[in-house]
Structure 1
Amino acid sequence: MKDTVIIYVISDAIGETAQHLIRASTAQFTLEGGADIRRHAFVRDAETLIEILGEAKNADAIIVQTLVQKKLAVIASDYCAEHGLPCIDLVSNLTAAIEQKTGQKSKEDPGNMRRLDQHYFDRIAAIEFAVKYDDCKDPRGILEADIVLVGISRTSKTPLSSYLANQNYKVANVPLVPEIPIPTELTQIPRNRIIGLTNSPEKLAAIRKVRLKSIGLDETSSYSSENRILEELDYGYRIFKQLGCRVIEVEDKAIEETAALIIEKVK
């Protein structure tokens, strides 16, 4: 039984999509040697492709291809079939199905997805929005936001704002501090656009101590004390109730998982 696996990603673009999918799949296995992912991007001629396939054969690798040019995809599939290499084609079957449904032919243009279009410019605008309205620097952003995240310190508001901005959502976030009243703008928007974020006292204490240490401050500061954290959590829940917003517990959730929950609740 092997405790490691070699996977060749072959793409005529950058191969990023395949790499994400491979990581999701390999995470389901205990591979002591890990997954050795070897990405070959911008493969756009048969000679280069065959050379890479030869390397993969010598390495006894799995092939994952995202080749939109049919000629190259067929070469890769035929080579793998001939030499007994596992080959996963992430593009061809779906492309063929779309062609059949629409009656159109694929453009077979590897760079088409990456061209600058309105989606790209909207994403850049969303990222700029998230930076501008991070930590409630200007509460007027709350009125324009698609999503408003509220929560006490260290509940992942800023990382989530950045991640959601990359999904084209305009996000503002508001820190909840017992001594500071919430901005009136929070009461002027539909509650379904507001998401409350919370965490366990234990997790917050650990995160805050690390934060204090990283900036050279005393880890025993009131900021990380149990009493202060419980006070803030209690205040946070009172604000969530006042706003009538939905609440997500972020403890032990990856940013991607929490973001997916937020999008689901907002939609």
Structure 2
Amino acid sequence: MQDKLYVYIVSDSIGETAEQVAKAAISQFEDVKYIIKRFSYISDSEQIFDIIEQAKKFRSIIIFTTVIDELKETLIDECEKNNIEYVDIMSSVMNSLHSVLGIEPINEPGVIRKLDERYFNRVEAIEFAVKYDDGKDSRGIKKADIVLIGVSRTSKTPLSMYLAHKNIKVANVPLVPEAPVPDELFEISPKKIIGLTANPIKLNEIRQERLKALGLNNNASYANLDRILEELDYAEKVMKKIGCAIIDVSNKAVEETAGIILDIMRENGII
């Protein structure tokens, strides 16, 4: 086993970066037999001493990505005492960035993973908003962080997507007099539900524009003022029965309405 190279990956986070760098570098040398040992979430000097005890028995190199100064200094000191080759991947890059940016690094382990987790949570929330848009599947109501209800063209979908980009899972349900209200809306806390309404004149204008965009006759009942008044009246009754908060979106940008929703949800202890 002595002819093999032992590569010790040491990190105060997962250590994936150091391992990938090590593999990429070793691949440039032909016929090298090696064993990679990864030590993740190193948090104290005793762990480093144990790693050094192992490493000094073999032909070894230690590659590390720790950003905690105390651990880094201990690791370097122990490697030099025991004549073990080491590579500090992070320091040279961070020192150069510090020189260019003129600010100190935060030296917090695992930051990139936290960013990755936020990214994947956002993707999951966006996929959720698409899957449970416009009442496609009422099962999403119980899974959602927030449920938006309202008549057509009250910004349910744009709000769902906007909130999804803030890692919030949103389902939205259209309220139509001829369609039964999903039972699930009465099986969750009304604090998770936001009712959206609008001025009937404004809604009439929006729906007429929508019909024009679709190349349809704007005399359709969809944009008829009496029909809109009927829908709004029906929606209000449903919202009051549920007991949820109601927001008039008539003259509000999506960002403004989203801000109000977030404030309500924080007050309700939902997010």
| 1:251 Cα deviation from its structure 2 partner | 1.4
Per-residue CA distance 1:118-157 (angstroms, 9 max, x = gap):
1111111111110000011110110110000000000000
Superposed counterparts of 1:9-24, under 5 Å: none
Per-residue CA distance 1:165-210 (angstroms, 9 max, x = gap):
1101110000000111100000000000000001111110111001
In the alignment, residue 155 of structure 2 is paired with which amino acid? S
**For residue 178 of structure 1, what is the aligned residue in structure 2?**
177
In the alignment, residue 131 of structure 2 is paired with which amino acid? K
Per-residue CA distance 1:203-253 (angstroms, 9 max, x = gap):
101110011011111011111111011111111110110000000111121
**For residue 227 of structure 1, what is the aligned residue in structure 2?**
226
Pick one of 64, 71, 78 that aligns with 2:99.
71
Superposed counterparts of 1:1-267, under 5 Å: 69-74=97-102, 105-107=105-107, 117-267=116-266
**For residue 60 of structure 2, what is the aligned residue in structure 1?**
none
Per-residue CA distance 1:4-45 (angstroms, 9 max, x = gap):
xxxxxxxxxxxxxxxxxxxxxxxxxxxxxxxxxxxxxxxxxx
TM-score (normalised: structure 2): 0.59
Structure number, greater radius of gyration: 2
**For residue 57 of structure 1, what is the aligned residue in structure 2?**
none
4+ aligned runs moved over 4 Å, structure 1:
112-116
Q: Which deviates more from structure 2 when the two are superposed, residues 185-194 or residues 253-262? A: 253-262
- SS of residue matched to 1:185: helix
- SS of residue matched to 1:125: helix
In the alignment, residue 265 of structure 1 is paired with which amino acid? I
Distance 1:115 1:69 in 2: 20
Distance 1:260 1:116 in 2: 23
Distance 2:97 2:257 in 1: 36
- SS of residue matched to 2:168: coil
Rate the CA distance shift 1:117–1:241 in 2: closer, same or farther, 3 A.
Answer: same
Distance 2:244 2:191 in 1: 7
- SS of residue matched to 2:134: helix
**For residue 43 of structure 1, what is the aligned residue in structure 2?**
none
Aligned CA RMSD, in angstroms, stands at 2.2
List gaps (5 residues or longer) in structure 1: 1-67, 75-91, 96-104
Distance 1:254 1:216 in 2: 26
| 1:73 Cα deviation from its structure 2 partner | 3.7
In the alignment, residue 265 of structure 2 is paired with which amino acid? V
| 1:114 Cα deviation from its structure 2 partner | 9.4
| 1:69 Cα deviation from its structure 2 partner | 3.8
Q: Tell me how many residue pairs correspond in the alignment.
A: 170
- SS of residue matched to 2:119: helix
